[in-house]
């Protein structure tokens, strides 16, 4: 199981990497623009926080084939362990084919149904990012993601799904329960994976009971 964080905020990345076993970080143009810093500075700061084994995903901004390919090559040059995100438009699918032939790793993104993901896998994308919650506006996003995984398995495609656009831990649990191996979570949902008020209440009770007897809140 791969837990990925969907943010470009360096402080949050560092904090969550200290708490959780974070496999990598996903970004997109909106997430990077939110930091209000030059693109190269954002990427450099994230690179300083991540270790060499952690994967960084960065998305192209252009929408035409030629520019997507050019940006994909540039992104691939920024870091050794980096994956280029390309949306599954007609031009994007064409760019995925070209970049894949050049040995550049691709995450096909903005997937809103299983067939989009499947054709991206056929074009050579190593990873697929179905937008689970957005799909839920039209169909069952969790179920559509599971169907995509079944399609990949049936045709022996080793492309990996990274479920994205997740809005609650219930969606995450259902995906993991049904064999989806990777999810990318916004910071608030990542925190909800481990935070629980009932746990805090239990710890407070343990601490208070200890204090009543030993007049301290530490073991020694």
Q: Classify 141 as helix, strand or coil.
A: helix
Enter the tokens of residue 68: 């997507």
Enter the tokens of residue 141: 């996003």
Cα–Cα distances in angstroms (integers) from residue 134 to residues 89, 143, 159, 172, in the given order: 17, 13, 22, 14
Residues designated catalytic: 85
Alpha helices (runs of H) in 58-196, residue ranges in sequence order: 65-76, 90-101, 114-122, 132-135, 141-154, 169-177, 187-192
């Amino acid at each position: 199981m791969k837990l990925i964080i969907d943010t470009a905020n360096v402080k949050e990345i560092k904090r969550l990497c200290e708490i959780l076993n974070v496999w990598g970080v996903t970004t997109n143009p909106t997430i990077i623009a939110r930091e209000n810093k030059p693109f190269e500075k954002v990427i450099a700061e994230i690179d300083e926080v991540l270790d060499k084994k952690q994967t960084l995903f960065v998305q192209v901004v252009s929408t035409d084939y030629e520019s997507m390919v050019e940006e994909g090559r540039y992104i691939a040059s920024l870091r050794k362990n980096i994956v280029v995100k390309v949306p599954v438009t007609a031009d994007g699918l064409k760019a995925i084919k070209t970049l894949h032939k050049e040995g550049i790793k691709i995450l096909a993104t903005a997937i809103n149904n299983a067939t989009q993901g499947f054709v991206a896998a056929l074009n050579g994308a190593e990873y697929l990012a179905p937008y689970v919650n957005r799909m839920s506006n039209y169909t069952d996003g969790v179920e559509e993601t599971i169907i995509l995984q079944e399609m990949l398995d049936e045709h022996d495609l080793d492309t990996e799904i990274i479920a994205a656009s997740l809005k609650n831990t219930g969606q995450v649990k259902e995906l993991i329960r049904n064999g989806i191996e990777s999810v990318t979570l916004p910071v608030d949902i990542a925190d909800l994976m481990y935070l629980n008020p009932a746990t805090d209440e239990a710890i407070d009770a343990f601490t208070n009971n200890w204090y009543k007897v030993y007049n301290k809140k530490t073991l020694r």
